[in-house]
Amino acid sequence: MSDELTKEQQLELANAEQQTEAARFMRRNREFKPGAESAKKIKKLLDAEKLDFTAENLEKVFLAHKADFELDVYKPVPVEQKKDVNGILLNNFPMPEWGILTKKSIYDLDRASMRRWMKNPEFVAQVNRVQAGLPQFAEGESR
């Protein structure tokens, strides 16, 4: 077996290298909308400027001719809104050390935890609200 690569192997290697460079470019340039049209356009610009197919050159050409490309506008995936047992949103608030309180969870608390947390006025207020059948958290209180 010879150490030289066949033409087919050389093409496969070049293709793999280009895919790696394209992936690096795509990670750094989220606005670039992938597709056949964009690929042809950016390859044509690289050839016109006699640049190698590297992530840096792809970025250089894209940024210089950004107006010529259809951009992919980033749209964040919506976060699922999590609610506590009382229907209060939890996503934007830190959860207290004792977590979500229900009448059952209060009844099941071990003595050591109950003694420690009873020194915290926020815990006492939340326990009193839950025992009264009200939501655990008052408006504006941390969750």
Residue 105 lies in a domain: yes
- Count of structural domains, the chain: 2
- Check whether residue 12 and residue 58 sit in a common domain: yes
- Check whether residue 83 and residue 116 sit in a common domain: yes
Note the pTM of the prediction, 2 decimals. Answer: 0.48
In whole angstroms, how far apart are CA 76 and each of 5, 79, 81, 117?
45, 9, 14, 39
Helices (H) then strands (E): counts for the chain = 6, 0
Task: Establish how many alpha carbons lie within 13 A of residue 12's alpha carbon, considering only the half-sphere containing its beta carbon.
Answer: 5
- Check whether residue 85 and residue 26 sit in a common domain: no
- Check whether residue 64 and residue 84 sit in a common domain: no
User: Which of residues 68, 99, 116 is at a domain's end?
Assistant: 68
Give Cα 91 to chain centroid, integer Å.
15
Residue 2 lies in a domain: no
Containing structural domain, residue 27: 7-68
Residue 1 lies in a domain: no
Q: Along the 143 residues of the chain, how does pLDDT read in single tens digits?
A: 456 888 898 889 888 899 999 989 988 888 888 889 999 999 999 999 999 999 999 999 999 999 988 887 766 656 566 665 556 555 556 678 888 899 999 999 899 999 999 999 999 999 999 999 998 877 655 54
